[in-house]
């Protein structure tokens, strides 16, 4: 990646908030296309986006379908980190219930990613 | 950037990418993909019906090292020209 730039997007909203769930993936794809390293971290209801099938029907007005964006994000080399305690409290099992490429982590890893980033954004 | 539409219209792009109908960030991702398939110095032409694409691709070109050549307004869409710079 050029200039070692890195962005971290923390996503706290799930399928019930299509815009809040979609826009970070729009931004992330644009960043990856611009040679910026990207990590998306999902916490709270945001972890539902990494639950197989839950994002499939999500489409915010004016934007591509969320599942398409999440596929583009993965294909462009984005990394998706999922909050372990948040999936446990929702009965989501790892790795079987999670989408391809999702990595379960805890607070220490999130902090390390954010601390090493050029910038972080919270959605 | 090329100053006149006439000069821009005289360019024959090495690759034309039809991204009409795609919403942000679709045209940008298509431009990125298309740019990877042409050699250095080649020109791609992106067709987009999303009016923000021209500024989006302009900013992207400056960020990643391509040369944004300009835009021609067509019938219901924009023709955006970029030369591969790296």
pLDDT for residue A1 is more than 70: no
- Are B25 and A2 inside 8 Å of each other by CB? no
Bigger pLDDT: B6 vs A81: A81
pLDDT for residue B5 is more than 90: no
Cα–Cα distance, B31 to B17 (Å, whole number): 7
- pLDDT tens per residue across span A12-49: 999 999 999 999 999 999 999 999 999 999 999 999 99
Per-chain mean pLDDT for chain A: 96
Which residue among B22, B23, B25 sits closest to A30, beta carbon to beta carbon? B25
CATH of the domain at A56: 3.40.1260.10
- pLDDT tens per residue across span B42-55: 999 999 999 999 99
- pLDDT tens per residue across span B22-71: 999 999 999 999 999 999 999 999 999 999 999 999 999 999 999 999 99
- Retrieve residue B65's tokens: 């090292």
Disruptive mutation site among A3, A25, A26, A30 for chain B (greatest number of B CBs within 10 Å) = A30
Return the pLDDT at B81: 97
Q: How many domains does chain B have?
A: 1
> Between vectors from CA A33 to CA A31 and to CA A35, what angle results, nearest 5°?
75
Q: Say what the ipTM of the complex is.
A: 0.85
3-state secondary structure chain B: CCCCHHHHHCCCCCEEEECCCCCCCHHHHHHHHHHCCCCCCCEEEEEECCCCHHHHHHHHHHHHCCEEEEEEECCCCEEEEEECCC
- Are A63 and B56 inside 8 Å of each other by CB? no
Q: CA nearest B29 in A: which residue?
A: A33
Cα–Cα distance, A8 to A115 (Å, whole number): 10
- Are B64 and A26 inside 8 Å of each other by CB? no
CATH of the domain at B18: 3.30.110.40
Per-chain mean pLDDT for chain B: 95
Domain hosting residue B33, numbered range: 5-83
pLDDT for residue A3 is more than 70: no
pLDDT, mean of residues A105-120: 97
Checking phi first, is residue A14 left (phi over 0); if not, alpha (psi -120 to 50) or beta?
A: beta
Q: How many domains does chain A have?
A: 1
Return the pLDDT at A32: 98
Domain hosting residue A55, numbered range: 2-122
Return the pLDDT at B1: 78
Whole-model pTM?
0.91
CA atoms B1, B5, B7, B11: torsion sign: positive
């Amino acid at each position: 990646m050029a200039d070692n730039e890195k962005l971290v997007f923390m996503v706290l909203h799930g399928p019930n908030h299509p815009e809040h769930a979609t826009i970070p993936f729009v931004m992330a794809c644009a960043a990856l296309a611009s040679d910026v390293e990207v990590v998306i971290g999902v916490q709270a209801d945001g972890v539902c986006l990494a639950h197989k099938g839950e994002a499939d029907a999500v489409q915010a007005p004016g934007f591509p379908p969320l599942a398409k964006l999440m596929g583009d994000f993965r294909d462009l080399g984005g990394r998706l980190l999922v909050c372990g305690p948040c999936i446990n409290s929702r009965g989501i099992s790892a790795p079987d219930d999670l989408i391809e490429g999702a990595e379960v982590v805890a607070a220490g890893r999130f902090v390390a990613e954010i601390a090493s980033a050029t910038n972080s954004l919270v959605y | 950037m090329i100053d006149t539409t006439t000069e821009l219209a005289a360019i024959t792009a090495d690759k034309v990418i039809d991204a009409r109908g795609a919403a942000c960030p679709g045209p940008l991702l298509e431009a990125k993909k298309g740019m990877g398939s042409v050699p250095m110095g080649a020109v791609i032409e992106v067709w987009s019906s999303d009016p923000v694409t021209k500024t989006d691709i302009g900013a992207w070109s400056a960020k990643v090292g391509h040369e944004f050549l300009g835009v021609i307004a067509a019938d219901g869409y924009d023709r955006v020209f970029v030369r591969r710079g790296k």
